[in-house]
Amino acid sequence: MDQAALSNVVSLAYSLPELVLGASVVALFLLDLVVKRKALLGDFALLALAIVVMLSARLLWSDSAALYNGAIVLDGFALFFKLLLSLAAFVTVWMSLGSREIQRSDTGEYWPILLASTLGMLFMASATNLLMAYLALEFVSLTSYVLSGFMRHSRRASEASLKYLIYGGVASGTMIYGMSWVYGLSGSLDFRAIHAALLASNGVSLPLFVALLLTLAGLGFKVAAFPFHMWAPDVYQGAPIPVTAFLSVGSKAAGFALMIRFFFTAMAEPAGAGVYQLVGGADWSKLLLVLSILTMTFGNLAAITQQANVKRLLAYSSIAHAGYMLMGFAVLTDDGLRAMLFYLTVYYLMNLGAFVVVMMVANSTGREDLAGYRGLAWRGGAVPAVAMAIFLFSLTGIPPFAGFVGKFYLFAAVVEKQLYLLAIVGVLNSVVSLVYYARIVRTMFLEQPIGGEGAVVVDWHNGVLLGLLTVGTLLLGFWGPLIEFAGRSTHFLSY
Amino acid sequence: MPTNVLTWMIFLPVLGAIVVLCLPRNADTLIKGVAAAFTVPPLLMAVWLFENFDRTTSDMQFVTKIPWIASFNIQYFIGVDGISITMILLTALLSFLCIFASWGITKATKAYFALFLVLDAAMMGVFCALDFFLFFVFWEVMLLPMYFLIGIWGGPRREYAAIKFFLYTMLGSVLMLVAMLALYFYTEPHTFDMLELAARSASYSSRFQSIAWIALFIGFAIKIPAFPFHTWLPDAHVEAPTAISVILAGVLLKMGTYGILRINYPILPAATLQYAFYLLVALGTWNIVYGALCAMAQTDFKKLIAYSSISHMGYVMFGMATLTTEGINGAVLQMFNHGTVTAMLFLLVGVIYDRAHHREINGFGGLAGIMPFYTGWTALAFFAAMGLPGLSAFISEILVLLGGWRNYPALTVVSASAVVLTAGYMLWTMQRIYLGKANEKYLELPDINGREIFTLVPLAVIVIVLGVYPRPVLDLINVSLVHLNDVVMGKASVALAAATRLVP
């Protein structure tokens, strides 16, 4: 469907979620000046995000449109991510309200910054212009630096924030340099115009390849793909637990959203029958295939060597999961994209769930190390221990949990393209990942408490969230409409 | 009931697990009673199946077929034929008996019985599933309860044994997953329906068949366990609690050979023909001899039985590989017989372990005088395991060897002489534990009790009856196996139209 991009004023009607979110950020900053109990601000943020989720859901029934003279679009793909990201922010705010760390810091700026970060992510999901993409990504990065260093009195948090900032600065610098190459090669910042220019030209494959490689640095940084993952372990460990959860799901999803849209609309085109073909002669699918293998293998092998801190271990696990998801990217098919979107949804459930348990343990015992989980099931923490086991086995990819179905779709997309080697590497990685996930399960169930670990209390607030995520991990995998929704969301607006 | 009977058999235990979880934590007897109650209906249904099973056809019976995940053409497709019905009978019986063998569990009873019931459901599911995806889901689901059952209620090295079991099996199953997906995309239209996959087997190229066969075979071989993938078994067995060892040896090992018969044979017949004649038969023979020799070297009673399982599963592989009517019938009969005999053996090891708290073969002596009834039961089980004429294992082993004689006379001689090794280690163990001078420490050991005898009687009856009159089982399996053999030999093909029958 060919249609012109809408003008700025008309576009506002399609941007209700972003408008509400932006207004809430401003309101929260102002409220912070007058409100004494900072938890009230959290409640306000929760309410705002609930409204954002509903407004985004309402847009599902509206037509796709190119907004703001083509700077961003509203299509099924963008909406999928808007829903996922605002839901991730919603869970993060819910978690933050139940987190001892956040309660102790008792600073009001936390909430508007979290919401601002979400706003940036929403723009990342719908940007169709390199400038817009860069601004959105930087906006998310800057807010993330602040969030990860939010425990001002913790040395580790400060270190994490600084590391994040330095790595992030280098990555985005590299990326914008790469983007300038893309601009030089195509003469435009608009994804559609870049695509057209690349189609018309030929013989730019090598410079284009370099440009993409440089651009990938920034995007790979956001999704924590090897070799741009270095920040992840330190930041995950140092940041407050809800922020870590938000980074591991939200940041990753937003990064993938931008990455997919850029590569699939500017650097490739549909070739019919659900298959994409490359444009411009630079074979980035092979590059991503290699990246996928390296990322999952590195993430899993590094996680095995991590014994001490569960948050750090989950950081390496999140690197590995970026690798699995890149498989769906590298196959260049609608089925691959669908599998990726589905996997992101499932990953959202199980990874956030795992962090909720980590937070519950930290709330009760103040510990994040593996020894703090010893005999968890036998000292009053049977519910979080069972939930954690479900999340971890789901992350491993064992049925009947949702993670298995997610991996099944990913591997199916890979086998469909007859990339058997990639499939074998992928499934062997799943086996490797069992080693460290099972280590946590073993500590919780097979070992007995030796005393002094402290009891784990399940409070109502976190318990409800844990219950919802557990039920989702148990049931949503085999729930047909979810994969159909993911399938419908792989269509990009072409205008 | 007729069409849904299998669904009930699979999901009643799941319901049972949920009920058990809702019971109060300290009501031990209530928990055990409820768990037992939920294994009775499946057992009765299994008997009903046995009565109403049509023995004159190789078609699938009691079929349920419901679309499940439309975008991948996945179905909830279950049914039984002659190969699976014996395994379903075995599973239902052993699950029921093992609840009673677990009566002594005191640690976290609720979790134990809930997990046990989930395990029961998954095992049933594996034997009923006719959709490859469904089969795979049940196959993997089984790992979770097993991991915890070994890991929490096991012996001193339980953590190591549990994770080793988990990793080995998962390694095999992920290869199976890739092969499964490859098969799915190789057929047009894409399907996971095992009967449809088998019906299209002629369209698979021979190279594809060979590779897929090996990938699937590794997955199943780990479960059997075939040399060199067997090393998890002794560890798992030694550490697992008695009832779990019984399930492990009695049912789980059979899944390996069952999977080969259900998937490799009909879906990849050309590759089967190619591999059976050297790989499968060689591995079978080697398992028989190697398992027996290892068993002979053991000083741990349970480990000895574990290695004897490896040896006896070798007969199953050998029988399957002969591709003769006798051999393949013998193989499936041996699967059933080994399930009952080895269950008895593990239950008997459990009896002495509960009393003496160790299993050192050389640490006993003269138990015959102290525990005469126990010794009698053990003698029966030992003779059955040795393949003494008149007891069930004799029939199946002789059928396997008869089948083997036609195609591999030399290997048959080797396999047959391994019977001597079996007799050797069994009698030697008998001598060291039950005969000779009584160990002073154990003069006061009480003899086998009523509950323990209760778990042994049904198995003993089956062992003796099938030893004299094996027709009840052979009649069940024969038609399906003859047909399967013809499919592999290229004399018949799986006809889709007639492949499913709803009601007997």
Q: Give tens-digit pLDDT for B66-81.
A: 888 888 889 999 999 9
Percent of chain B with pLDDT over 70: 97
Summarize pLDDT for B214-244 with one digit per residue, the tens. Answer: 999 999 999 988 888 889 999 999 899 999 9
Take residue A268 and report the two structure tokens written for it: 């490739």
Cα A24-A22-A33 angle, rounded to 5 deg: 45
**What does the pLDDT read at residue A449?**
82
Residue B115 pLDDT more than 90? yes
Distance from CA of A397 to the nearest CA of B (A): 10
Confidence band, pLDDT 50/70/90 cuts, at residue A494: low
Mean pLDDT of A360-370: 86
3-state SS of chain A is: CCCCCCCHHHHHHHCHHHHHHHHHHHHHHHHHHHCCCHHHHHHHHHHHHHHHHHHHHHHHHCCCEEEHHHCEEECHHHHHHHHHHHHHHHHHHHHHHCCHHHHHHCCCCHHHHHHHHHHHHHHHHHECEHHHHHHHHHHHHHHHHHHHCCCCCCHHHHHHHHHHHHHHHHHHHHHHHHHHHHHHHHCCCEHHHHHHHHHHCCCCHHHHHHHHHHHHHHHHHHHCCCCCCCHHHHHHHHCCHHHHHHHHHHHHHHHHHHHHHHHHHHCEEECCCCEEEECCCCCHHHHHHHHHHHHHHHHHHHHHHCCCEHHHHHHHHHHHHHHHHHHHHHCCEHHHHHHHHHHHHHHHHHHHHHHHHHHHHHHHHCCCEHHHHCCHHHCCCHHHHHHHHHHHHHHHCCCCCHHHHHHHHHHHHHHHCCCHHHHHHHHHHHHHHHHHHHHHHHHHHHCCCCCCCCCCCCCHHHHHHHHHHHHHHHHHHHCHHHHHHHHHCCCCCCC
Confidence band, pLDDT 50/70/90 cuts, at residue B182: very high
Residue B490 pLDDT more than 90? no
**What does the pLDDT read at residue A238?**
87
**What does the pLDDT read at residue B156?**
87
Summarize pLDDT for A31-89 with one digit per residue, the tens. Answer: 988 888 888 888 999 999 999 999 999 888 887 888 888 888 888 899 999 999 999 99
Which residues in chain B have Cβ-Cβ distances shorter than 8 Å to A400? Answer: 137, 141
Mean pLDDT of A370-376: 86
Distance from CA of A446 to the nearest CA of B (A): 5
Residue B501 pLDDT more than 50? no
Residue in chain A closest to B108 (alpha carbons) equals: A378
Whether residue A334 sits in one domain with residue A264: no
Final residue before a domain boundary, out of A234, A258, A282: A282
Phi, psi of A289, deg, nearest 5? -60, -45
Whether residue A328 sits in one domain with residue A314: yes
**What does the pLDDT read at residue B492?**
65
Whether residue A336 sits in one domain with residue A427: yes
Which residues in chain A have Cβ-Cβ distances shorter than 8 Å to B141? Answer: 398-400
Final residue before a domain boundary, out of A238, A257, A282: A282
Whether residue A427 and residue B175 make contact (CB cut-off 8 A), yes or no, is: yes
Nearest to A65 by CA among A15, A130, A117: A15
- A484: nearest CB among B71, B143, B182: B71
Full residue range of the structural domain in which residue A93 is found: 1-282
**What does the pLDDT read at residue A268?**
86
Whether residue A328 sits in one domain with residue A230: no
Residue A369 pLDDT more than 60? yes
**What does the pLDDT read at residue B499?**
44
Q: Where are the alpha helices (DSSP H) in B408-449?
A: 409-434
Nearest to B153 by CA among A448, A11, A318, A423: A448
**What does the pLDDT read at residue B494?**
58
Whether residue A304 sits in one domain with residue A258: no
- The more confident residue out of B465 and A451 is B465
Confidence band, pLDDT 50/70/90 cuts, at residue B493: low
**What does the pLDDT read at residue B285?**
92
Q: What is the mean pLDDT of chain B?
A: 89
**What does the pLDDT read at residue A119?**
94
Whether residue A480 and residue B159 make contact (CB cut-off 8 A), yes or no, is: no
Nearest to A154 by CA among A235, A238, A94, A219: A238
Count of A–B CB contacts within 8 Å? Answer: 79
**What does the pLDDT read at residue A403?**
92
Whether residue A289 sits in one domain with residue A264: no
Flag whether the ipTM exceeds 0.85.
yes
Candidates B169, B177, B211, partner chain A, best to mutate (most A CBs within 10 A)? B177
Confidence band, pLDDT 50/70/90 cuts, at residue A483: confident
**What does the pLDDT read at residue B27?**
86
Whether residue A299 sits in one domain with residue A271: no
Which residues in chain B have Cβ-Cβ distances shorter than 8 Å to A378? Answer: 108
Mean pLDDT of B119-144: 94
**What does the pLDDT read at residue A9?**
81
Mean pLDDT of A230-258: 91
Whether residue B182 and residue A427 make contact (CB cut-off 8 A), yes or no, is: no
Whether residue A438 and residue B163 make contact (CB cut-off 8 A), yes or no, is: yes
Residue A387 pLDDT more than 90? yes
- The A-side interface with B (CB below 8 A) comprises 378, 393, 398-400, 404, 408, 411-412, 415-416, 418, 420, 423-424, 427-428, 430-431, 434-435, 438, 442, 445-447, 478, 480, 483-484, 487
Please tell me the distance from the alpha carbon of residue B318 to that of residue B400, in angstroms, as a whole number. Answer: 7
Residue A469 pLDDT more than 70? yes
Which residues in chain A have Cβ-Cβ distances shorter than 8 Å to B151? Answer: 442, 445-446
Residue in chain A closest to B170 (alpha carbons) equals: A431
Mean pLDDT of B468-472: 90
Distance from CA of A413 to the nearest CA of B (A): 9
Cis peptide before A233 (omega within 30 of 0): no
Percent of chain B with pLDDT over 90: 55
Confidence band, pLDDT 50/70/90 cuts, at residue A114: very high
Residue B400 pLDDT more than 60? yes
Which residues in chain B have Cβ-Cβ distances shorter than 8 Å to A423? Answer: 178, 181
Residue in chain B closest to A434 (alpha carbons) equals: B167
Summarize pLDDT for B324-358 with one digit per residue, the tens. Answer: 888 999 999 999 999 999 999 999 999 888 888 88
**What does the pLDDT read at residue A242?**
92
Whether residue A393 and residue B144 make contact (CB cut-off 8 A), yes or no, is: yes
- A431: nearest CB among B108, B174, B178: B174
Percent of chain A with pLDDT over 70: 98
Please tell me the distance from the alpha carbon of residue A121 to that of residue A140, in angstroms, as a whole number. Answer: 6
Whether residue A341 sits in one domain with residue A271: no
Whether residue A25 sits in one domain with residue A6: yes
**Under 8 Å between Cβ of A482 and A83:** no
**Under 8 Å between Cβ of A92 and A114:** yes
Which residues in chain B have Cβ-Cβ distances shorter than 8 Å to A487? Answer: 71
Mean pLDDT of B289-298: 92
Residue A303 pLDDT more than 70? yes
- A442: nearest CB among B137, B141, B163: B163
Confidence band, pLDDT 50/70/90 cuts, at residue B504: very low
Nearest to A77 by CA among A351, A265, A274, A270: A265
Residue A332 pLDDT more than 70? yes
- A423: nearest CB among B108, B141, B178: B178
Count Cβ atoms below 10 Å from residue A50 Cβ, excluding itself. 14
**What does the pLDDT read at residue B502?**
41
Total structural domains within chain A: 2
Whether residue B148 and residue A428 make contact (CB cut-off 8 A), yes or no, is: no
Whether residue A465 sits in one domain with residue A337: yes
Take residue A165 and report the two structure tokens written for it: 């900032």
**What does the pLDDT read at residue B500?**
45
Please tell me the distance from the alpha carbon of residue B24 to that of residue A490, in angstroms, as a whole number. Answer: 49
Whether residue A99 sits in one domain with residue A71: yes
Take residue B192 and report the two structure tokens written for it: 């996971």
Final residue before a domain boundary, out of A282, A298, A323: A282
Candidates B147, B183, B205, partner chain A, best to mutate (most A CBs within 10 A)? B147
Q: Where are the alpha helices (DSSP H) in B435-491?
A: 450-468, 471-488
Please tell me the distance from the alpha carbon of residue B82 to that of residue B483, in angstroms, as a whole number. Answer: 10
**What does the pLDDT read at residue B437?**
83
**What does the pLDDT read at residue A267?**
87
Confidence band, pLDDT 50/70/90 cuts, at residue A174: very high
Please tell me the distance from the alpha carbon of residue A232 to that of residue A243, in angstroms, as a whole number. Answer: 12
Which residues in chain B have Cβ-Cβ distances shorter than 8 Å to A427? Answer: 174-175, 177-178
Whether residue A291 sits in one domain with residue A238: no
**What does the pLDDT read at residue A203?**
65
Phi, psi of B424, deg, nearest 5? -60, -55
